[in-house]
Amino acid sequence: MHTMAVTIAEHARRRKKVLQEIGRDALAVIASAPVTLRNNDVEYPYRPDSDFFYLTGFAEPEALLVLVPGRKQGQTVMFCRERDPELERWNGPRLGPEGVCRELAIDEAWCIDEVDDRLPELLSGRKRLYSLFGKDDELDRRLFGYVRKLRRKNRHGVVAPTEFFDLGQVVHRMRLIKSSAELRLMRRAARISARAHIAAMKKTCPGRMEYEIESELLRVFRSHQAETAYASIVGSGENSCVLHYTANRRQMQDGDLLLIDAGAETGYYAADITRTFPVNGRFSAAQRAVYHVVLNAQQAAIDQVRPGNPWDAPHRAAVREITKGLRQLGLLKGELKALIKSEACRKFFMHGTGHWLGMDVHDVGDYKVDGKWCRFVPGMTLTVEPGVYIPPGNRKIARKWWSIGIRIEDDVLVTEDGCEVLTRDVPKQIDEIEALVGSEADN
């Protein structure tokens, strides 16, 4: 287990909160993620479901948590894999039902094979069923199968659930506000990611391959017991304008920009950072001009992250600054107000300015409730990531702008009186970047 991991007591408090919220005649079921095959019999590295892990701290597959408010024998029940010395020799230790009760403060645990017999019993007499319906077809089918079975016993006095609720509405609202233990992990993910970006900048020079820079990022992640939170984007030249470029196989050329979007995951919490810099360590005049626009926009957006402001405030600020900047550079033509209103900058800035960040890189949590943008509250964490992308080939745009793709992305925590940039260790000012790029390209 990770040394900074969220404590068992905190996981237990989260379960208690869910038990209280769903109420006495309800029941909640949540499964961990399935094992996924990569090919033939080879599996992807296992990653538990974030909601499941959030409530349990349990990282084994084939597990199901059932929350049963008011149950006398215990309100928290887990189904998990049985111990198996032979298999454990191959695949590592399992907690087993006893271990789950002992180590994870679960009240009662059974073998996962017993779920078809035992879960209908737990469900019997409950009016409301909470689960993450629509996420796992197999679990949905099983749950509705149990409900059907119970309904057939109606005339014997058995009560089956009649109302079905999205457990996400309960758990995701909790996940949106990070605890201090969660913030410790997020700061750690940010710190490791910052080191990786700095190492990547130092290694970059013309002639090097994009994948060599990717390997530098991964080296730093793994050397700190972290993994990559998502496939790293290392896009040079025109690849900097391909938003989801992950092939990372081009040789970098003198005069290119390099856009790196990479983040570490540690203890199941992610960072998500983008930096863009010149491969040869010196911005061209055109690159510098666009970089200024994006940097200004990002700062303006970050300044909007404070308690009480609506979710779209940073995006609106970014759109205003990018529109203003691109108009000054002659890339947008027309009256500023009209350009902002018609979102003319979408031609160059076609994505949002950020997303919630946490256990999932695109974290859970509502953005709008009852038709209104959510407002920032201390403890929320999000990214701020405006960008401008000018792919080559458009003859209406002067050649000097071609292949300029720039995004600057930081991770931000909403505080009592504003915000804190968790990823501030990665330089983004032009002079800082120019001093760093290629400084260790020879080793």
Query: Catalytic residues, which ones?
Result: 41, 244, 261, 272, 351, 355, 362, 385, 389, 407, 409
Kindly tell me which of 188 and 324 has the beta carbon lying closer to Mn ion. Answer: 188
Is 133 a residue that touches ligand GLY (CB under 6 A)?
Answer: no
Instruction: Choose which of 144, 164, 211, 230 interacts with ligand GLY (CB under 6 A).
Output: 230
Within 381-400, the residues that bind ligand GLY by CB under 6 A are 385
Q: Is 150 helix (H, G, I), strand (E, B) or coil?
A: helix
């499941």: which residue's tokens?
A: 52
CA 51 to chain centre: 12
Exactly one of 383, 390, 411, 423 binds Mn ion (CB under 5 A); that residue is 383
CB of 219 to ligand GLY, least distance (A): 19
Question: Residue count at the site for Mn ion (CB under 5 A)?
Answer: 4
Tell the smallest beta-carbon distance from residue 217 to ligand GLY (Å). 12
Query: How far is the CA of 278 from the CAs of 263, 281, 288, in angstroms?
Result: 20, 5, 9
Binding flag, residue 360, Mn ion (CB under 5 A):
no
CB of 269 to ligand GLY, least distance (A): 15
411 binds Mn ion (CB under 5 A): no
For residues 65 and 406, which CB has a smaller minimum distance to ligand GLY in the complex?
406
* Positive/negative CA dihedral, 217, 214, 403, 254: positive
Q: Which of residues 342-371 bind ligand GLY (CB under 6 A)?
A: 355, 361
Using CB under 6 A, count the residues that bind ligand GLY.
7
Paired strand residues for 111: 80
Whether residue 236 contacts residue 258, with contact meaning beta carbons closer than 8 Å, is answered with yes
Distance CA 137, CA 114 (A): 20
Q: Cα separations (Å) of 218 from 205, 276, 281, 406?
A: 18, 18, 22, 22
Phi-psi group of 237: left, alpha or beta (phi > 0 → left; psi -120 to 50 → alpha; rest → beta): left
- Minimum CB distance to Mn ion, residue 378 (Å): 21
- Taking CB under 5 A as the criterion, the residue among 210, 214, 272, 363 binding Mn ion is 272
- What does 230 interact with, of Mn ion, ligand GLY, none (CB < 5 to 8 A by kind)? ligand GLY
Nearer to ligand GLY, 256 or 272 (CB): 272
* Chain residues in the site for Mn ion (CB under 5 A): 261, 272, 383, 409
Q: Which residues are near ligand GLY by CB under 6 A?
A: 230, 261, 272, 355, 361, 385, 409
